[in-house]
Amino acid sequence: MNKIVWPTIDSEHLIVDSKQMLILEKEMFSDGMPQEALMEKAGIQISRWLLKKKPLLKHGITLLIGPGHNGGDGAVIARELFLNGFYVQVWCPFPIKKTLTNNHLNYLTSIGVTKLVEPPDVNGKDLWIDAVFGNNQTRKVDNKLIKLFNQKFHNKYGKVISIDIPTGLCPDKGEPFLDNAVKADYTLVIGLHKIGLTQDSALPFVGELHHIDVGVPTNKLSKVDKKIFKVTYKDLKNIDLPSLPKNSNKYKRGRTLLVAGSEKYPGAAYLTLKGAISSGAGFISAVLPNLVAESIWQVAPEIVLKGTMQCNQNGNASLFSALNNIDLSAYDSLVVGPGIGIDNDDWQKSKDYLIAFGGLLILDADALNRISESKLGSTFFLERKFKTWITPHSKEFSRLFPHIKCETNIGLALQAAKEFNISVLLKGANSIVADNKKAWQLFGTDSQTARAGLGDLLAGFVAGSSAIDLTLCRNIKTDFFAKYVLLHSFASSKCKRGSNASAIADELSKLMRNRKMRQIS
């Protein structure tokens, strides 16, 4: 297996499914960790988190205790908050099934914690804590309970916090088991992040995710067979991109070629060029539609025009005549697709040049749409013997790989990467980058990156950045791809001049002036 250097394999970053989490817990128990001790540690760690958020607690706390060990965690939380002087009450919507949970509840009543007989008042200002089911839930939940929670959530009189998993939400799919799930302001994730919580479909339910460390041993984490990482802007501080030698000239700072734009979509070409320029690549060449080529010197005089593309009667670009006259072997990376439009006959004639290209091929937007409509379809990727990165959004992905079915976007990206020996960026609210063994799930990124034109900017930025790093490290791996995507999103979040692509390109330029990212804050 390729050595993983970013991010660190720890409980803050690793994402697992519900079965993997249960296996880890059972291994800890078989090694001698008492079940009572793990419950105690989870409850105390959550209590410490809550005690740092005292405004949440000032109107009292109501814990809704489930029948299993998630309910036991809730009972420990109730005890600790009560002993710290807060008004606490508990309600059990279902009969308690676990002895350990029942013992904790009996102790609560013995020390004076109120145990409600009827459901709590949704109009109260108290904090509600959902400790009903957690990671072990596998089926639909009583809809009356879900409605009760969500009345509280929508009334906004007091916050709702879910422990580990919002009740009614599948921990693996990130979708409600039935029609709805608890909507939480915060979800406090115990041990490791569960895969369902980071999916786009879970966003309306989980609120802010916060990790609660219960000390899962590192040697256990390293043995998890499928490595999926949650990465956020905090992880930019640990990015380790190769440093350029001080004596490097433009030809040693990366050579990239961009094939972008058409009469129908001339703006895509400009934005792709701006993305490549912002990367700091030393030598940027382009194949552009005539409409853009005539004026490119006015907006990007540093671009070397290697060819122009005619456009068909529908305004879509024709690649073949331009690629036929270019020595592609001179380039480290090649991006094809932003705004070129659909021309299936042209793609059929052009594809052999792209299949034979020995550098990193980055396929975006209409290049992917052309592949999905071509005779080869996705088997195009199997024809290539060299590194290929693709950047589809969900609809482009389903057109490319209609046969791939998975419960999550992470599963989709991993399966496509493995089957076709490519690296995949599956764009979404929480974008995913995957190869055949690993995946990086971006989380907590800026929603402003979901705008027209920013995908073109990203394609150019990835092409330029990868070209630089390929001159210093010939076999860059998919973690580089994930880093570029995270940088692009971070630039959007930091851009004070607005969220348009041109302003974000300028912000990217600032970030890339320091290749080691020491100035990111």
Q: Which tens digit of pLDDT belongs to each residue from 283-317?
A: 999 999 999 999 988 888 999 999 999 999 999 99
Band of pLDDT at residue 365, cut at 50, 70 and 90: very high
Q: Of the given ranges (11-15, 23-27, 375-379, 501-505), which has the lowest mean pLDDT?
A: 501-505
Percent of the chain at pLDDT > 70 equals: 94
Residue, of 16 and 472, whose pLDDT is higher: 16
At residue 27, the 3 state secondary structure works out as helix
Q: Is the pLDDT of residue 109 over 70?
A: yes
Euclidean distance between CA atoms 417 and 415, whole angstroms: 5
Band of pLDDT at residue 452, cut at 50, 70 and 90: low
Q: Is the pLDDT of residue 208 over 90?
A: yes
Domain coordinates in residue numbering, the chain? 14-225, 248-512
Band of pLDDT at residue 516, cut at 50, 70 and 90: very low
- C-alpha to C-alpha distances, 489 to 444, 446, 448, 463, nearest whole angstrom: 10, 6, 8, 16
Band of pLDDT at residue 2, cut at 50, 70 and 90: very low
Euclidean distance between CA atoms 123 and 143, whole angstroms: 19
Band of pLDDT at residue 271, cut at 50, 70 and 90: very high
Q: Is the pLDDT of residue 249 over 80?
A: no
Q: Is the pLDDT of residue 449 over 60?
A: no
* pLDDT tens-place string over residues 146-191: 999 999 999 999 999 999 999 999 999 999 998 899 999 999 999 9
- Spelled out in words, what is the top-level CATH class assigned to the domain 248-512? alpha beta
Strands 304-309, 333-336: pairing kind: unpaired
Q: Is the pLDDT of residue 5 over 80?
A: no
Give the pLDDT of residue 514. Answer: 64
Q: Of the given ranges (161-165, 350-354, 463-467, 498-502), which has the lowest mean pLDDT?
A: 498-502
Entry pTM? 0.93
For residues 98-115, average pLDDT: 97
Euclidean distance between CA atoms 428 and 311, whole angstroms: 31
pLDDT averaged over every residue in the chain? 92
Euclidean distance between CA atoms 221 and 24, whole angstroms: 8
Give the pLDDT of residue 39. Answer: 97
Euclidean distance between CA atoms 288 and 206, whole angstroms: 44
Give the pLDDT of residue 340. Answer: 98
* pLDDT tens-place string over residues 386-401: 999 999 999 999 999 9
**379: CB partners within 8 A, 6+ apart:** none
Band of pLDDT at residue 493, cut at 50, 70 and 90: confident
At residue 453, the 3 state secondary structure works out as coil
Instruction: Give the max Cα distance, the chain.
Output: 85
Give the pLDDT of residue 517. Answer: 45
Check: CATH 3.40.50.10260 for 14-225?
Answer: yes
Euclidean distance between CA atoms 130 and 163, whole angstroms: 6
Give the pLDDT of residue 515. Answer: 55
Q: Is the pLDDT of residue 137 over 70?
A: yes
Euclidean distance between CA atoms 336 and 122, whole angstroms: 55
Q: Which residue is listed with tokens 């299949």?
A: 355
Euclidean distance between CA atoms 339 and 336, whole angstroms: 9
CA 473 to centroid of chain Cα atoms = 25
Q: Are the C-beta atoms of residues 129 and 64 closer than 8 Å to each other? A: yes
Give the phi and the psi of residue 185 in degrees, each rounded to 5.
-80, -30
Percent of the chain at pLDDT > 90 equals: 82
Give the pLDDT of residue 300. Answer: 87
Q: Are the C-beta atoms of residues 253 and 281 closer than 8 Å to each other? A: yes
